[in-house]
Structure 1
Amino acid sequence: MIYGAVSLVSLLIGAGIGASGEGGASGASAAEAKSDPRPTVTVTEQGEAEPAVTVTETVTAMPKETKEAEPASSFSGEGEYLVGEDIKAGTYKTAGPEGEFGCYWERAKDASGEFDSIITNNNLQGPGRVTLNNGEYFKTNRCQEWKRVG
């Protein structure tokens, strides 16, 4: 308890001394009071943060085994196809012409377009069938889709 009383008295005396120094009790002028050292504030500027390190990992993907594209078993009624490469050999049927002008098809031994290359041909007004062999060219115009049936 004695220490508490001594602390309280010391605090009050210190407060009184500090208050009395303001009024010029020491006789110092205002100019001298301003020249007294003041606390120094130091501001430290922080530079921009270093960018985060980006780690890139390269992964080599193993390709999936793919099958070589097989010839189609159905195809458009407009075009020229190599049997065995573009389309499968076999018998195909069509529902007939796409419009009123009829469906033309042609089996040819090559893609020259020459009259001598034609093996056989036909103009259909209704449904039709044709059997195609490997290595032949099949030309079709104005026909509905051809579908393999055998």
Structure 2
Amino acid sequence: MSAPTSSTEPAVVPPKPGVKRMWHLAPLRVRAGVVTVAVIAILGIVGTVVATSIAAQNAANWEVLRQRGIQQSETISKLESSLARAESDRDRAVKNLVPQTELTQREQTVAAAEKSVGDREAAVKGREDAITAKENFVKQTSLTGGKYTVGVSMEAGTYRTENTNSRCYWAVYTSGTNYDDIVQNDLGATGVLTVTINQGQDFETNRCGTWVKIG
């Protein structure tokens, strides 16, 4: 038999009793396992915190959505009430509508009344114009103290006055001469006086009473 060959592998020396193995001397597999457990624990804690935060945020968002839903429901309810009132008002208005024939008759009545008012206004205007013309005629044919021009402030013709004032003065001038060209005049005459003023002449009277056109 051949003699046993000696092995070159180093012999494993068992640990001495009472001596603890240091962590850095622990096998790599053991250290990896411990690290894995620690990471899993940390991830679990982080996951719990994140889940709690998400749940709280979701609850807050849900409350906001719920409040918005309540507000929208109230708004819809108000709109429905307003719509109901509007429809009710519309129905009443439709019931109160005047038939077209009656409306046409009313329009015709109003038009006739407006025409009648227009005719009356025209008649009143005509009377006013007549009164104004008469007043102007009286003004131009009834002369008191002052200066007058034929065709402007008086009519041509013969005028008469019943004078009782001895200081009466009247004169007829040629128009456009600034009352310098005297055609005829009189001072101090009393009683019934007459004078004829023609076109292109002016007339002045003072303290002679009222001259009235007689022709």
Q: TM-score, normalised by structure 2?
A: 0.35
Please state which structure has a larger fraction of its residues in strand. 1
User: Higher relative CO (CA 8 A, sep ≥ 6), structure 1 or 2?
Assistant: 1
Q: TM-score, normalised by structure 1?
A: 0.48
